[in-house]
């Protein structure tokens, strides 16, 4: 099942209830999501309707007397009729629609409820006509996008570069004018940079990311009405309304791969580097030996007690037989004495003969009983010795198990302390190497895009409360095929096979903890937006041998051109390497812990690893108590819905950071 969704930045559906304090500068969400959201700041009515016409396809006709009117208005509605009533509050206007679609809006003048007198002219002869601007030709790559979903934009990148962290700037975009607070900036050695901020009046949940580099400006803007891409094509920068574009996400079906599925079991064993997992395995093995020996000891004890019972029974029988033999002896002696007195008495002779036979039988029975008793005693001694030996083995095994368990418990405590430290101190760095293809993307674009996606990922870690920083240590082009299945590409990449031969050596050379293949999306063959090995799958230990993933990015390059993969794909696939999986109902493998799941509610929100949407650029965590649709972004360990990927990543990050020793101080971007 493929659930379609759009990408919304850092919890845009959070805290949407009416009791949100509007002037709280720290609120993640100050403005709840809407189908339509457009802020107008100090724009003339003519400029405002021009923007809205290009967005909507609506033609506006404006009384010339009003075209210069200054508009300051927020449109926040679920349909355009309501939005227009907000925009034109105080104006006389007429809406012309056809089959529910607004075609034309005629603004005849003010209605007199303000300080200005009402305008009564209704003749449209001299009215200013504002229609969608067809003169601005868009790049041909957007020819199949829905009308109004792609708009030219001129971003003041030089001005933004001079904005200090913590300062505000008003951005004039085709989708509205927004006061943006600048809170992060990343400058790269290749002279590309990423500018990060958020819509200050709407809340920190609505982020804007802008990358400037050799191929122009690329980025993403998230507002209360959805997600927008910023793209530069042939020197022209545009804003793409993803929700309105008519595109469908290629999704994440079958993107989480358990290593054994691709025959990497032996690699797993060879590459295991988690001492904690080794200690746990040793403790578990030692305890299992104790359990087995306990069962064996109990079995031998049962046999020993059975032998004692048999010996006691044999002794009782022997005593009984001895008494019977003595009685037979007495009877024989009495019969013999009687014959001695009367030797010719036939009756006495017969009695003596019978007494002798009885004595012989009694002696035989006694001897048999004694033999049985002796055997029972021997068996008891043997059973006792076997039991005593097993008890000794059990005591030794118990001591070994306690030693192993103590060693594991000690290291586990250290690990938990390290995780707690990692959750509250400076970030741990994971070094990343990315190989990229160049059949349907340029090397310049790939390098800038990869740097940008690393920056977006790092912002998501920061916003989620994860002390992890990805460091891009090396990129280079690969001749690997661009349009085969992600699963095959992943297997080839991890196996150093074909065009990927030498990747393992490069990984060692640049000290890359993780390795990723970056290429454009080919929806017909890729299978999904990406594929990655699930690190720590089913609670296993750290494994450098499976630190690999593949990314399909952007709009599909094949016949299925209406599919796309968003900026969150990169963060999502690396999230699998970090030990995380999808929502419980969409995961075919478990992550590191029982709580390493995503969390989402369909049509409300979905965290980064979730199938549900709209997607928020946060990892699941109960500590994000209200950031997801006004509720938690996850549930704590022990809850049936346990979903705490922030805790998972803070645990696994130090382990992954040790996959390879750092070898470079300055990234080598080729």
- Together in a domain, 482 and 628: yes
Task: Tell me the CB-side half-sphere exposure of residue 432, using CA atoms within 13 A.
Answer: 31
Write the CATH number for 410.
Answer: 1.10.287.620
Higher pLDDT, 275 or 543: 543
Domain assignment present for 256: no
Domain boundary among 388, 421, 454: 421
* Domain presence at residue 530: yes
Q: How far is CA 649 from the centre of its chain?
A: 9
How does pLDDT run across 475-506, given as a tens digit for each residue? 999 999 999 999 999 999 999 999 999 999 99
Among residues 103, 135, 167, the one where a domain terminates is 135
pLDDT at 27: 58
417 with 429, same domain? no
What is residue 413's predicted lDDT score, i.e. its pLDDT? 78
pLDDT digits (tens, 9 = 90+) for 381-408: 999 999 999 999 999 999 999 999 998 8
Residue 42 lies in a domain: yes
- The alpha-helical segments, DSSP class H, found in 423-473 are 443-464
Last residue of a domain, one of 393, 421, 449: 421
Give per-residue pLDDT as tens, 85-135: 999 999 999 999 998 899 999 999 998 644 444 454 556 779 999 999 876
Q: Based on the structure, what is the number of domains in the chain?
A: 4
Q: What is the CATH number of the domain that holds 78?
A: 3.55.50
Same domain for 409 and 431: no
Where is pLDDT greater, at 613 or 167? 167
| 229, 339: one domain | no
The three-point CA angle 45-49-54 to 5° equals: 155
The pLDDT assigned to 125 comes to 73
Query: What pLDDT shows up at residue 267?
Result: 46
Residue 432 sits in the same domain as residue 416:
no
Of the candidate ranges 63-72, 139-148, 164-173, 568-577, the one whose mean pLDDT is the lowest: 139-148
User: 167 vs 34, which has greater pLDDT?
Assistant: 167
The tokens describing 490, both together, are 């992943």
Residue at 377 is within a domain: yes
Q: Does residue 194 form part of some domain?
A: yes
Mean pLDDT, the chain, as a whole number? 88
pLDDT interval class at 615 (50, 70, 90): confident
428 and 403, same domain (yes or no): no
Asked if pLDDT for residue 474 goes beyond 70, the answer is yes
> What is the span of the domain harbouring residue 381?
276-421
**Does residue 575 form part of some domain?**
yes
In a domain, 141, yes or no: no
Q: What is the pLDDT of residues 245-301, one digit of tens each?
A: 999 999 898 888 987 644 444 444 444 445 667 788 899 999 999 999 999 999 999
Contact 641, 648 (CB under 8 A): no
In this structure, what token pair is assigned to residue 281?
């395995």
Question: Are residues 431 and 562 located together in one domain of the fold?
Answer: yes
CA distance 185 to 193: 7
What is d(CA 598, CA 610) in angstroms, rounded to the nearest whole number? 5
Q: Check whether residue 329 and residue 476 sit in a common domain.
A: no
The string of pLDDT tens digits covering residues 325-384 is 999 999 999 999 988 999 889 899 899 899 899 999 999 999 999 999 999 999 999 999
Residues 6+ apart with CB under 8 A from 520: 437, 440, 441, 482, 552, 553, 554, 555, 556, 557
Q: What is the pLDDT, as a whole number, of residue 122?
A: 54
Q: pLDDT digits over 424-466, tens only?
A: 556 799 999 999 999 999 999 999 999 999 999 999 999 999 9
- What mean pLDDT is predicted for residues 27-50? 89
**What burial letters (b/e) apply to 184-196, b meaning 16+ CB within 10 Å?**
bbbebebebbbbb
Same domain, yes or no, for 410 and 430? no
Judge if 197 and 58 occupy the same domain.
no
> CATH no. for residue 476?
3.40.390.10
Joined together, the tokens standing for residue 192 give 């590309």
Q: Do residues 437 and 568 share a domain? A: yes
State the alpha helices, DSSP H only, in 36-76.
45-56
Give the Cα-Cα-Cα angle 101, 107, 112 (nearest 5 degrees). 130
Name the strand (E) or helix (H) holding 331: helix 275-341
Residues 51 and 195 in one domain: no
């Amino acid at each position: 099942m493929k659930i379609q969704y759009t990408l919304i930045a850092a919890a845009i559906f959070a805290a949407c209830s009416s009791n949100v304090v509007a002037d709280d500068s720290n609120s993640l969400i100050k403005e709840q999501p809407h189908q339509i959201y457009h802020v107008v700041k100090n724009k003339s009515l003519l400029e405002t309707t021009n923007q809205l016409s290009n967005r909507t396809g609506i033609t506006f006709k404006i009384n010339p007397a009003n075209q210069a009117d200054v508009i300051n208005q927020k449109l926040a509605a679920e349909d355009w009729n309501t939005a227009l009533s907000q925009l034109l509050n105080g104006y006389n206007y007429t809406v012309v629609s056809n089959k529910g679609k607004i075609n034309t809006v005629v603004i005849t003048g003010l209605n007199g409820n303000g300080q200005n007198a009402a305008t009564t002219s209704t003749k449209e002869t001299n009215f200013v006509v504002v229609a969608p601007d067809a003169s601005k030709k868009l790049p041909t790559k957007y020819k199949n996008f829905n009308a109004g979903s792609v708009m030219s934009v001129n971003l003041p990148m030089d001005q933004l570069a001079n904005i200090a962290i913590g300062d505000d700037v008003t951005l004039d975009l085709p989708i509205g004018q927004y006061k943006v607070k600048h809170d992060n900036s990343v400058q790269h050695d290749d002279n590309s940079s990423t500018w990060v901020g958020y819509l200050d009046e709407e809340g920190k949940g609505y982020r804007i990311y802008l990358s400037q580099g050799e191929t122009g400006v690329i980025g993403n803007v998230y507002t209360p009405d959805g997600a927008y891409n910023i793209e530069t094509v042939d020197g022209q920068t545009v804003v793409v309304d993803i929700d309105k574009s008519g595109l469908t996400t290629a999704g994440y079906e079958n993107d989480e791969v358990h290593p054994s599925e691709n025959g990497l079991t032996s690699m797993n064993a060879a590459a295991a580097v988690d001492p904690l997992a080794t200690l746990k395995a040793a403790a578990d093995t030692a305890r299992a030996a104790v359990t087995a020996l306990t069962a064996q000891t109990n079995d031998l004890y049962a046999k020993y007690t059975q032998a004692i019972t048999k010996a006691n029974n044999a002794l009782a029988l022997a005593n009984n037989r001895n008494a019977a033999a003595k009685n037979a002896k007495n009877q024989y002696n009495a019969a013999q004495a009687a014959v001695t007195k009367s030797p010719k008495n036939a009756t006495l002779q017969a009695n003596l003969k019978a007494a002798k036979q009885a004595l012989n039988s009694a002696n035989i029975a006694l001897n048999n009983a004694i033999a049985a008793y002796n055997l029972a005693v021997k068996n008891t001694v043997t059973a006792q010795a076997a039991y005593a030996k097993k008890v000794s083995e059990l005591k030794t095994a118990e001591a070994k198990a306690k030693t192993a368990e103590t060693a594991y418990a000690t290291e586990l405590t250290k690990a938990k302390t390290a995780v707690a430290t990692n959750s509250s101190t400076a970030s741990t760095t994971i070094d990343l190497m990315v190989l990229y293809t160049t059949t349907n993307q340029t090397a310049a674009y790939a390098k800038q895009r990869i740097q940008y996606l690393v920056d977006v990922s790092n912002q998501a870690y920061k916003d989620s409360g994860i002390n992890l920083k990805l460091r891009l240590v090396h990129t280079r082009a690969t001749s690997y095929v661009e349009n085969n299945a992600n699963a095959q590409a992943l297997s080839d990449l991890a196996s150093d096979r074909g065009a990927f031969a030498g990747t393992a050596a490069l990984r060692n050379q640049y000290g890359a903890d993780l390795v990723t293949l970056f290429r454009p999306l080919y929806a017909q063959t890729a299978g999904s937006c990406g594929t990655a090995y699930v690190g720590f799958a089913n609670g296993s230990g750290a494994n450098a041998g499976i630190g690999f993933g593949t990314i399909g990015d952007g709009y599909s390059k094949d016949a299925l051109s209406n599919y796309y993969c968003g900026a969150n794909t990169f963060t999502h696939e690396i999230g699998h390497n970090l030990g995380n999986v999808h929502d419980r109902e969409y995961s075919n493998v478990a992550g590191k812990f029982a709580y390493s799941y995503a969390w989402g509610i369909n049509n409300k929100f979905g965290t980064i690893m979730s199938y549900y949407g709209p997607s928020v650029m946060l990892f699941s965590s109960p500590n994000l108590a209200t950031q997801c649709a006004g509720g938690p972004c996850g549930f704590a360990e022990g809850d049936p819905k346990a979903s705490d990927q922030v805790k998972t990543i803070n645990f696994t990050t130090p382990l992954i950071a040790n996959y390879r020793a750092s070898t470079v101080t300055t990234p080598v971007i080729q």
